Amino acid sequence: MDRFYLENAAQYQALVKALSPTARVRPLLSEEIATGFPCAVFPRTAQPGVVDIHDLYNHPRGRPILKSFNYRVDRLFNSQTTTEEIYEDLVVDLVPFAWNGGIGTLFAYGQTGSGKTFTVSRLEQLVAESLMDGSLEGQRQIYITIIDLAGNSAYDLLKSRTPVSILEDSFGVTQLAGAHEHLVQSRNEMMDLIERAASFRRTAPTLKNDASSRSHAICRIRINDPGADSDGLLYLVDLAGSEAARDIAVHGADRMRETREINMSLSVLKDCIRGKVQADALISSGGPKSKQKKAHVPFRQSALTKVLKHVFDPASSRACKTVVIACVNPSLADVGPSRNTLRYAEMLRVIVPTTNKADPNPTAPMAWTNAQLKDWITKNSGTPPILPDVLAPTETGAQLLRLPAAEFESRCLKSPGVSAEQTRAFRSKLWQMHIDSHRVGNTLNTPTSNPSESSEPGTTLGLTSRLSSRDLDPATMAIPFKERIRPGMVVSWNEPPDHLGLSTADDLKLAVILCPLEAVQGIVKDTLENVVNHKENGHADARGNGTDRGARYLCALVTPGLMAEAYELNLWRQIVLDVDSMDKEVFLEYDAGTR
């Protein structure tokens, strides 16, 4: 294809001249001029924001013909535009936006060699100047983290490429686990960190660029407001360059794998852009109609889009502003990648519908004001009530959720008559509401279908999802639990002398009933290595140290989990309990959201 372009360069320039373009995106590089490739990208002066790309089509039945394409973007910058002008026109508003608690994102997208790293590097310097020049109101603490994404692997560029895990926390926020945050006090300190990170970034020569970025670099600036206990975030993203087939002709196996990983992550990014456009279109039209699929944004399919989740997630509740700089190569040889870049940049131009702001979800604690939170505490804290002015004097719902468990419980216990058990149960209730508010649909407790509707005889489809240890028949609750013991029941128990050593870290000892002891087959040992079903005259030994303690059951231990109010079922840590050692029935509920 390059040969075709070079052989017909003169005819191409004659065809383009008839269109009278008056401006170029940028001058061709000396290498491009030396090879003989003309410019193929032209902005329209009469229509700001519209750019024409002219391609030469090798018609099989005649002379080559010109095919033209046009794309609309919000701004166009030519070779005379400085990075400082781009910053003032596009990026400067992101800084105060993040300073006041929003999430600002800038990412540069385009083919390798199109100037992405050059642009982002200078913009990082200008952002550092704006943050540190004292022009913004209020006191803030500024932290910087810079990571490198190679495929689905992440590395801390400020910690000698130490591996980083990209995780999502219980608030739906992407966290860079293992990445070190540096508190910066001056512009020079921030610039030193940015330059140090650049020295660790992975680059390699390609056909288009002698120092092509072979990974995505993400600079995250967290701006903490100690007075409001809130954070603003600013992401500056320099994406790795995509490569066409001719750019990778001389790559070895490792470079081919590297290129494949880059192109795959950029492909997921494109899918997210498409999904975001579809989601915004549905929102502007009033939501999906009946039988119309909801837009799917696959941001979890790559590490890159996980970090940029806030840009694409339709369910995001944080205020976000995003600037995309599409960098294009003007050469006729790169007309295909340039068209591809502008096509996806054009898709990101979404007109925000002029509708009233939707009311926050009343069942989502993250959206509650202090007044709403106090009202909920008053109505739901139980008896005796937890005083809302003591638990949350000024906090919003989001701030109370972030309160450490020890501080939460300490405040609750200041209310007269409130017990530690009531405090833990109330905190668990608040977190249950928070987790439920993040679910797309509450379908976990509903039957799947009716058995009579099964298309295959003998199959059972009418299964109810069991997320609780409660008995399915509420009428049985009137019967003392010792008279209705069943598999799956959870009981608390008092430790008998022959079970010394089984104490757990929690005062509450729990076990799940598995089966009656006499139903156990073969030789089974408990967690203390004692044979629990020793046969004597063909019957299971139910005497236990020579004393008849009634019916005995094989049980599995339940121990405290890592999270507060969470427990772990240990099916292979088994004990034998007699009915007399059982204290009461305990209800455990399984939460699918937190597993």
Whether a cis peptide bond, with omega within 30° of 0, leads into 314 is no
Strands, sheet with 41-43, edge to edge from the N-terminal-most edge strand: 41-43, 50-57, 65-72
Contact 172, 109 (CB under 8 A): no
Encoded tokens for 461 = 């489809």
- What is the sign, positive or negative, of the torsion defined by CA atoms of 192, 93, 73, 82? negative
Report pLDDT for 160. 85
Is position 193 within any domain?
yes
> What whole-number distance in Å separates Cα of residue 220 and Cα of residue 237?
8
> What whole-number distance in Å separates Cα of residue 233 and Cα of residue 223?
6
Residue 525 DSSP one-character state = B
Report pLDDT for 465. 57
Encoded tokens for 387 = 């005083």
Is position 148 within any domain?
yes
Say whether both 193 and 336 belong to one domain. yes
Residue 108 has pLDDT above 60, yes or no: yes
Minimum mean pLDDT among 130-139, 191-200, 499-508, 568-577: which range?
A: 499-508
Task: Select from 106, 105, 97, 99 the least CA-distant residue to 310.
Answer: 105
Contacts of 158 (CB under 8 A, 6+ apart): 144, 145, 146, 180, 182, 193, 196, 197
Is position 571 within any domain?
yes
Residue 498 has pLDDT above 70, yes or no: no
Say whether both 39 and 137 belong to one domain. no
Is position 518 within any domain?
yes
* 136-177 per-position pLDDT tens digit: 888 899 999 999 988 788 999 998 889 999 888 777 788 888
Say whether both 98 and 225 belong to one domain. yes
What type of residue is 291?
K
Say whether both 91 and 238 belong to one domain. yes
> Residue 87: which pLDDT band, with cuts at 50, 70 and 90?
very high
> What whole-number distance in Å separates Cα of residue 373 and Cα of residue 375?
5
CATH at residue 115: 3.40.850.10
Say whether both 114 and 235 belong to one domain. yes
Say whether both 412 and 491 belong to one domain. no
Report pLDDT for 390. 92
> Residue 456: which pLDDT band, with cuts at 50, 70 and 90?
very low
More confident residue, 79 or 165: 165
Show the domain range for 234.
83-246+317-342
Encoded tokens for 45 = 């002066």
Minimum mean pLDDT among 48-62, 79-93, 478-492, 527-541: which range?
A: 527-541
Is position 273 within any domain?
no
HSE-up of 35 (CA within 13 Å, CB side)? 17
Encoded tokens for 467 = 């997320």
* Structural domains in the chain (count): 4
Which helix (H) or strand (E) segment is 399 a member of? helix 397-401
Report pLDDT for 547. 42
Q: Taking the CB of residue 45, how many other CB atoms lie within 10 A of it?
A: 11
Say whether both 328 and 413 belong to one domain. no
More confident residue, 13 or 457: 13
> What whole-number distance in Å separates Cα of residue 110 and Cα of residue 114?
6
Is position 221 within any domain?
yes
Report pLDDT for 362. 76
What type of residue is 527?
T
Contact 304, 327 (CB under 8 A): no
* 320-379 per-position pLDDT tens digit: 888 888 888 887 778 888 888 888 777 766 554 444 444 556 788 888 888 999 999 999
Say whether both 63 and 104 belong to one domain. no
> What whole-number distance in Å separates Cα of residue 122 and Cα of residue 77?
16
What type of residue is 430?
L
Average pLDDT score, the chain: 77
Say whether both 405 and 375 belong to one domain. yes
More confident residue, 505 or 148: 148
Which helix (H) or strand (E) segment is 97 a member of? helix 94-99
Say whether both 173 and 42 belong to one domain. no
Minimum mean pLDDT among 21-35, 237-251, 297-311, 555-569: which range?
A: 21-35
> What whole-number distance in Å separates Cα of residue 83 and Cα of residue 87?
6
DSSP 477-519: GGS-GGGS--TT-EEEE---GGGTT---SSSS-EEEEEEEGGG
> What whole-number distance in Å separates Cα of residue 126 and Cα of residue 331?
29
Report pLDDT for 568. 87
Encoded tokens for 136 = 């913004």
Determine phi and psi for 531, rounding to 5 degrees.
Answer: -70, 125
Minimum mean pLDDT among 41-50, 71-80, 456-465: which range?
A: 456-465
Report pLDDT for 440. 46
Contact 594, 170 (CB under 8 A): yes
122: helix, strand or coil: helix
Say whether both 417 and 331 belong to one domain. no
Task: Select from 473, 461, 431, 466 the least CA-distant residue to 445.
Answer: 466
Report pLDDT for 439. 62
Q: Which long-range contacts (CB under 8 A, 24 or more apart) does 133-138 make?
A: 133/187, 136/95, 136/96, 136/99, 138/99, 138/225, 138/227
Please, where are the H alpha helices in 224-308? 253-284, 303-307
Report pLDDT for 331. 77
Please, where are the H alpha helices in 100-200? 116-132, 187-200
DSSP 556-593: EEEEE-SSTT-EEEEEEEEEEEEGGGEEEEE--B--TT
Is position 359 within any domain?
no
Cβ burial of 235 (10 Å; 0-12, 13-18, 19+) is: buried
Contact 591, 568 (CB under 8 A): no
Contacts of 34 (CB under 8 A, 6+ apart): none
Distance of CA 27 to the CA centre of its chain: 40
Determine phi and psi for 188, rounding to 5 degrees.
Answer: -60, -40
Is position 294 within any domain?
no
Say whether both 145 and 242 belong to one domain. yes
> What whole-number distance in Å separates Cα of residue 576 and Cα of residue 506?
20
> What whole-number distance in Å separates Cα of residue 402 and Cα of residue 396?
10
Residue 560 β-bridge partners: 567
